[in-house]
């Protein structure tokens, strides 16, 4: 059984699982990222299985249906919006996933909050240019943290916000006051969240219902001293509205770990904007997380070969 491991950008996959112990499986690792569909299909035609890292390479029906040998897809995590699960089911392709610790993303979100409020990046770059204490940061203690989406990651961020002395409020389309109680978080309306928060952090899944959930109206309500943090999905925020808000000083700054195109071109307007703090989608990229992802990916391929698929993801 031939298996392609895609988007292994830094050749890390080989370090985190004992691939060579699976003698019956033939693995090939690819460190580049193909965006051309025809080139991708041509590359993958000889393979029976494919290992995917989150949403790096999309697998819509147009690709799935042109890979007649493909029997098994294994993605890191138990949700991958870029896989057409219905198309896989029609083609008889089993899709499996892995567990995901998750807390690494919440930690990064909190780091980005701290960095923005304390003005860490401009102070560091100013220091490198020979300047000393060119800006004053602010305390996080006493500020209001607004969380959009109080699920697993949003809940973990709430704990971190409380630990440093922030007031924490939350909203999402389906969130209720009762679900906020265990987190000691105040439920508010969407309008109130953006009006009262000093910093808003997004922790929502992307769907057609949540696409561009945050637009110019919400960003204007956040105000000229407010910050936005997005470690979830780029399309949760209207990109044109975000750039307009930054250009017009409607918000003080934005920190993002996610982009419309990834890997993101250096000349991307958001990356180059003087009021943004941009990280290269590293929310889940830690040694501890990869020690879960890749061994469980290998485990899933071996289970499929035995005819006993595990952690199967259904449409």
Domains of the chain: 2-101+286-305 (3.40.50.720), 103-278 (3.40.50.720)
Quote the pTM value. Answer: 0.91
pLDDT on residue 300? 98
Average pLDDT value for residue range 249-254? 98
Q: What is residue 169's predicted lDDT score, i.e. its pLDDT? A: 98
- Alpha-carbon gap, residue 16 to 296, rounded angstroms: 10
For the cut 90, the answer to whether the pLDDT of residue 226 exceeds it is: yes
Strands (DSSP E) found in the chain: 2-5, 26-29, 49-52, 72-75, 94-96, 144-148, 167-171, 186-187, 199-202, 227-230, 253-256, 276-278
Distance CA 100, CA 313 (A): 14
The closest of 82, 31, 34, 33 to 54, measured between CA atoms, is: 82
From 107, 196, 262, 299, the catalytic residue? 262
Q: What is the pLDDT of residue 81?
A: 86
Tell me: pLDDT of 217 over 90. yes
The DSSP element (H or E) to which 41 belongs, if any, is helix 37-44
Report pLDDT for 288. 96
In the prediction, which pLDDT does 158 show? 98
Among the ranges given (8-17, 38-47, 142-151, 190-199), the one the predictor scored with the smallest mean pLDDT = 8-17
The verdict on whether 196 is a catalytic residue reads: no
| Percentage of the residues of the chain whose pLDDT score is greater than 70 | 100
Query: Is the predicted pLDDT of residue 215 greater than 90, yes or no?
Result: yes
| R_g (Cα) of the chain, nearest Å | 21
Catalytic annotation on 233? Answer: yes
Q: Is 262 considered catalytic here? A: yes
Residue 282 CB neighbours (<10 A)? 12
Half-sphere exposure at residue 274, Cβ-oriented, CA atoms within 13 angstroms: 6
Residue 313 has a pLDDT of 97
Whether the CB-CB separation of 249 and 135 falls below 8 Å is answered with no
- Pick the catalytic residue from 54, 56, 203, 281: 281
60-117 confidence digits (pLDDT tens): 999 999 999 999 999 999 988 889 999 999 999 999 999 998 899 999 999 999 999 9
* pLDDT tens readout for residues 112-163: 999 999 999 999 999 999 999 999 999 999 999 999 999 999 999 999 999 9
What is the pLDDT, as a whole number, of residue 55?
A: 77
Res 106: pLDDT:
97
Mean pLDDT of 15-24: 91
Given 56, 103, 183, 233, the catalytic residue? 233
21 pLDDT tier (thresholds 50, 70, 90): confident
């Amino acid at each position: 059984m031939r298996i392609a491991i895609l988007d292994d950008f830094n050749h890390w996959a080989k370090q985190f699982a004992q691939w060579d112990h699976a003698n019956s499986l033939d693995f090939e690792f690819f460190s580049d990222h193909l965006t051309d569909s025809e080139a991708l299909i041509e590359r993958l035609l000889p393979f029976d299985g494919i290992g995917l890292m989150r949403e790096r390479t999309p697998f819509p029906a147009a690709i799935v249906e042109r890979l007649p040998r493909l029997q098994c897809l294994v993605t890191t995590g138990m949700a991958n919006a870029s896989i057409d699960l219905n198309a896989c089911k029609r083609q008889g392709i089993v899709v499996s996933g892995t567990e995901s610790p998750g807390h690494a993303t919440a930690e990064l979100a909190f780091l980005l909050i701290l960095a923005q409020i304390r003005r860490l990046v401009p102070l560091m770059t100013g220091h490198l240019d020979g300047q000393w204490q060119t800006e004053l940061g602010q305390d996080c203690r006493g500020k209001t943290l607004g969380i959009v989406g109080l699920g697993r990651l949003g809940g973990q961020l709430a704990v971190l916000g409380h630990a440093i002395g922030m007031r924490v409020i939350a909203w999402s389309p389906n969130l209720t006051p009762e679900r906020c109680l265990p987190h000691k978080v105040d439920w508010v309306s969407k309008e109130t969240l953006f009006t009262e928060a000093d910093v808003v952090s997004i922790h929502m899944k992307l769907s057609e219902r949540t696409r561009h959930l945050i637009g110019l109206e919400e960003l204007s309500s956040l105000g000229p001293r407010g910050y936005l943090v997005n470690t979830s999905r780029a399309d949760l925020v209207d990109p044109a509205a975000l750039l307009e808000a930054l250009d017009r000083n409607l918000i003080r700054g934005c920190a993002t770990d996610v982009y419309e195109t990834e890997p993101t071109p250096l000349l991307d307007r958001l990356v180059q904007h003087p009021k943004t703090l941009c990280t290269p989608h590293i929310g889940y990229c830690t040694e501890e997380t990869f020690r879960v992802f890749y061994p469980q990916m290998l485990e899933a391929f071996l289970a499929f070969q035995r005819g006993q698929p595990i952690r199967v993801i259904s449409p």
